[in-house]
Amino acid sequence: MSRFQKIIEYTLYLFVFLLPFGTRYFIEKGFVNGGYLEYKTISLYLSDIVLVFLLTFFLVHQFLKVKKFGSKHNISLIWWLISGLDLAVFISIFQSPDHILALYKYVVFLLGVGLFWVIIRINYSKAKLYFSLLIALAIQASIGIWQFLSQSDFASKWLGMAIHLPSQAGTSVVAVASQGERWLRAYGGMDHPNILGGALVIGILLTIWMLVTPKGQRIKDKIIHYVLLFVFTTAIFFTFSRSSWLSLFVGCFIILTLNYTKGEKRIARQVTKVLGVMAVLVVVLVVQFQNLVNTRLFTTSRLEVKSNVRRVELLQSSSDIIGQNFVFGTGVGNYSLALVKEKPDQPAWTYQPVHNSFLLVLSEIGFFGFIFFISVLVWIGLIVYKRKDYLGLSILFGLLILMMFEHWLWSLHFGILFLWLILGLVYKKPQVSS
């Protein structure tokens, strides 16, 4: 491998490590009715700078390779589908009330597609890439564990962290009405506990797979991965994110069931052993924090009812917005502004995207963009199924569950790039020449 290829490879590892950190420069903060609105904010992230360098190196490498060996003109179906999605996102810019915001979101989308291209085209060590991501997530998870156990937080511009205190209105907490307590949920360095929980779903599934691979049977690797599994499982529990818990359950069920039913008995036994260790840890945590678990899953406390009612209201609002913008959408990144137009006198925090990525895609880029988005996911799923890649299928199903209950995989900078990163990892062929 040439030195140029090495630079590309290790720049990719650096990007993957930096992605979970929200270190950024605010170009323009979004404000609505005197309040801050993240979905209207334009920022330059540290990870963006690294990704631009990565894409530049990659494009130069591709140009030199074409110049030396010539080019092949066969284009796979996935790129036709992505091109259709790209066209729908681009057209939606002209439908948007805020063209600059839509253009910014389009650039983030293009960065995500570029990342997908790099992931599936270049040679790299999946073990090293996974490890880069897992270490970054371990840092986020450790911060989240500390936040919950200490019931305190800190702000850091270098880590891209805002402060979240349980006493402050708007902070995500578990409120135990009978005891008059507000328990801070684990954020890590993310914008919301659900985002940390969703990222940890992928981290846990990757860690389980690393533990059951032949290389993962070495004592040193086992210790490292079990430590990561302990940290991730504890942190995802402390997020109290119901969508993340469900996503993880579905992902683990898929990876265990497929390996067992398709004759991979050795892997199935190894997965069962790992899941057993996780189950013991979860039982201990549930016993210790049973009142909080009951509040999140079974009770009708004021905050839980308010949260559920708010989700229903957002679903109803999305139905109205889709009806008014069915063909071309509101414009990528402009859903919240469509809500402002519908209800102009609300506080800024109420203008949240609908908590369903599929409905948000349909709302922002219209029917045809939605069809292309679904087609990309379905085609990747079919390819992964044909390869009998059960880890990839478990990750895809985990993502689908998250997208059914969350919007951040389409609405937020981290979510967009994280989605394309994971899609690239599961779509990539086992061996690809650079």
Instruction: Please spell the DSSP secondary structure of 337-355, one letter per residue.
Output: HHHHHHSTTS-GGG-PPPS
Domain contains 234: yes
Residue whose entry in the numeric block shows the structure tokens 């008059």: 180
Residues contacting 213, CB < 8 A, separation 6+: none
The pLDDT averaged over each successive group of 10 residues in the chain (434 residues) is: 86 97 94 93 97 95 74 78 98 96 98 97 92 97 97 88 83 80 93 96 96 80 94 98 96 94 86 95 96 84 75 89 94 95 89 95 97 98 94 96 96 97 91 39
Residues contacting 354, CB < 8 A, separation 6+: 314, 315, 317, 318, 335, 360, 363, 407
Nearest to 402 by CA among 252, 246, 254: 246
Alpha carbons 260 and 254: distance in angstroms, whole number: 10
Domain contains 209: yes
In 371-386, which positions are buried (b, 16+ CB within 10 angstroms) versus exposed (e)?
Answer: bbbebbbebbbebbee
Q: Which two tokens stand for residue 274?
A: 């790992």
0.75 exceeded by the pTM? yes
Domain contains 432: no
Cα 258 to Cα 210, 253, 261, 354: the distances in Å are: 17, 8, 5, 33
Alpha carbons 147 and 126: distance in angstroms, whole number: 31
- The SS3 assignment for 172 reads coil
Q: What is the number of domains present in the chain? A: 1
- What was the pLDDT predicted at 311? 84
Name the DSSP class of 142.
H
How many of the other CB atoms lie within 10 Å of CB of 67? 9
The whole domain housing 137 covers 3-427
Domain contains 368: yes
- What was the pLDDT predicted at 433? 35
| Whether 164 contacts 187, CB under 8 Å | yes
Helix extents (H) in 35-190: 46-69, 77-93, 99-121, 126-150
Domain contains 433: no
Domain contains 311: yes
What length does the chain have?
A: 434
Domain contains 295: yes
- What was the pLDDT predicted at 300? 64
Alpha carbons 318 and 301: distance in angstroms, whole number: 26
Domain contains 434: no
Angle between helices 357-386 and 413-427 (to 10 degrees): 20
Torsion region of 190: left, alpha or beta (phi above 0 gives left; psi -120 to 50 gives alpha): beta
- What was the pLDDT predicted at 278? 96
